[in-house]
Amino acid sequence: MAVKQDLRTPIVSVMGHVDHGKTTLLDRIRGSTVAEGEAGAITQHIGATEVPIDTIVSKCGNPALRDKFMVPGLLFIDTPGHHAFTSLRSRGGALADLAIVIVDINEGFMPQTIESLQILKRFKTPFVVVANKIDRIHGWEPQKNAPFIVSYNKQSERVKTELDRKFYEVVGELYNAGFNSERHDRVSDFQRNIGIIPISAVTGEGIADVLMVLLGLAQRFLEGNLHYDASVPGVGTVLEVKEEKGLGATIDVILYDGNLKKGDMIVVGSLGKPLHTKVRALLKPRPLTEIKSEEKFQQVQSVTAAIGVKISAPNLDSALAGSPVRVVTPETVDAISEEILNELEEVQIDTDALGITIKADTIGSLEALVNELKKEKIPIRKATVGDISQRDVVEVAAIEDPFYNVIIGFNVKVLPDAKDKVQSTEIKLFLSDVIYRLIDDYKDWAKEQKELTEKEMTEHITKPGRFQILPNCTFRQSKPAVVGVKIIGGVVRTNVDVTTADGTVVGKVKGLQLRGDNISEAKVGMEVAVALEGPTVGRQIKEEDTLFVNVPERHAKVLENEIFDSLKADELETLEAFLEIKRKGNPFWAK
């Protein structure tokens, strides 16, 4: 079998936790092949790097493999992270055909590792796991750019054992995430088992294995999806909308089907109706060898899938990253615009009447963020694509519940006029380009807010309290009555009204004393002297009576409905006893 002309290059995306080595791996895949000076070893695209099959098999040192594979090579998207993965769609699915999940073998799984796996599961994308940074294992003898097994066999027994131990921790974590896995050279059926490749993105060990396994996955899983027709009108996805000096707004596009020529009419998804324009120039990076040139880009007349290319054309300002790009003719333009519009509208987000407001840079990332927030049961009022504008701020500021005076922005800017506005409001902004960080920060803030509100409420609210008048401790009969009491539950403060055990209000606490000192509150277990304005001992109250703090109905509601969870056991007990007394007379009291 040889390379079939109608199979396009599979598109590969690298995902994983921050600092686990995504960028270094991509650099290594680009760099090692360039450094070795192999002619035509890689092709730099806009936003992507292509490694041709010949380069891959020569790196693996087995040219006989050349004929086993039908795909022409691998196209790596240069932007790592699951942000890129979820933002870049093709007809509702992921743009990337394959993925690499990278995990630092010394650190193990982290939140974004798990998030990556969940995303891949959702999109049913074949992937391989790489266990990176094996060179950090104590005693490791690096074998530059060697295939994994060659390098492994050169290590001492102690180092091998240590690698195996760490490796099986990764296997265990993958199992917990719902995947069976094995070391890549031991996997016989990639449909059943995920292959894990131990590598070092720094020394290049195992990189050849990564490329080979990806080719294997492409061959095994994708053949049916990689057929394309170079003669049909081009179909692609906008990676990024970029302002370029002298060109104005341009779009970086990954074309995954058909062809695209200078002069073609294209339709691109935009914030409103899809925009129509005519390709003025198709640009690709100038090869590094032509360093004398001032120009960053060189023009090409036409391109075919799969390729990353920059399109220069009028009116691209409102193009939307992550949205489709399609070549049209005067006959197809209306139908295709309609299709694109429908595709964009499919990313409909169900919103709640009251909730937070979210903004993201692309449709895909908006959807991913909404998904994650929903999992956390965080209500969303509005979710839209674009930078944070003055209008967003005005809308959010008008919400009365301070819990929802919140805007979460993923990979977006705060526009200058909105910035001024934010400063004059109480709005809380969360900005990041890491989804889990946004969610964690928001959750921490919400928890803190809740505690603060509870604290504020507690300070202004009459808490329940129950106390008993001690025998032989009447210091004064009346005006005010002064008696020794024991606090049985809750807290008694000065200036609260007190009731008898049948709910009748009999007076007010004028003062509290502990061993001769004035205090403002007495808690459960304390024995104190209480001055009561109102009753006379022996008439309305007598020794050994149990009295209650009279919690006003409105406060009782707050206690029962809003800060119930923060009350201590004795406070709860006291509140319940008091409610029972009140509800004997009126079952709907404080309801």
Residues that bind ligand GDP (CB under 6 A): 16, 18-24, 80, 132-133, 135-136, 200-202
138 is in an annotated binding site: no
Asked if residue 16 belongs to a known ligand binding site, the reply is yes
Answer yes or no: is 363 a known binding residue.
no
DSSP string, 123-156: HT--EEEEEE-GGGSTT----TT--HHHHHHTS-
Two structure tokens written together for 71 = 């795909």
Judge residue 34's burial from the number of C-beta atoms within 10 Å of its C-beta, 0-12 exposed, 13-18 middle, 19 or more buried.
Answer: middle
Pick the closer one to ligand GDP by CB: 201 or 282. 201
Supply φ then ψ for residue 7, to 5 degrees: -100, 125
- Give me the residue label for tokens 């009346």: 478
Cα dihedral sign, 35-36-40-46: negative
CB of 104 to ligand GDP, least distance (A): 8
Residue 20 is assigned to a ligand binding site? yes
- Minimal distance, residue 148 CB to ligand GDP, in Å: 13
Give the residue with the Cβ less far from ligand GDP, 71 or 88. Answer: 88
- Tell me: is residue 278 an annotated ligand-binding position: no
Residue 276 marked in a binding site: no
Cα→Cα distances 586→281, 559, 582, Å:
80, 18, 6
- At residue 96, φ and ψ (nearest 5 deg) are -70, 135
Confirm whether residue 21 is marked as ligand binding. yes
Provide, rounded to whole angstroms, the least separation between the CB of residue 519 and ligand GDP. 57
For ligand GDP, give the closer residue by CB, 111 or 248.
Answer: 111
CA 553, CA 557: separation in Å to the nearest integer?
6
- Judge contact between 22 and 16, C-beta under 8 A: yes
Least Å distance, CB 411 to ligand GDP, is 16
Cβ 84 to ligand GDP, closest distance in Å?
12
**Do residues 202 and 20 make contact, with C-beta atoms less than 8 angstroms apart?**
no
Instruction: Pick between residue 117 and residue 320 the one whose CB is nearest to ligand GDP.
Output: 117
Closest CA to 283 of 265, 260, 305: 260
What is the nearest approach in angstroms of ligand GDP to the Cβ of residue 17? 7
Q: Would you say 103 or 547 has its CB closer to ligand GDP?
A: 103
- Least Å distance, CB 16 to ligand GDP, is 6
CB atoms within 10 A of CB 82: 26
Sort strands 481-493 and 527-533 into parallel, antiparallel or unpaired.
antiparallel
Task: Give SS3 for 278.
Answer: strand
Asked whether residue 86 is marked as a ligand-binding residue, the answer is: no
Please indicate if the annotation marks 252 as binding a ligand.
no
Please, which residue, 239 or 241, has the CB nearer to ligand GDP?
A: 239
Q: Give the residue from 412, 414, 419 showing the smallest Cα distance to 433.
A: 412
C-beta closer to ligand GDP: residue 142 or 511: 142
- Binding-site residue numbers are 16-23, 78-82, 132-135
Binding site for GTP: what residues are annotated? 16-23, 78-82, 132-135
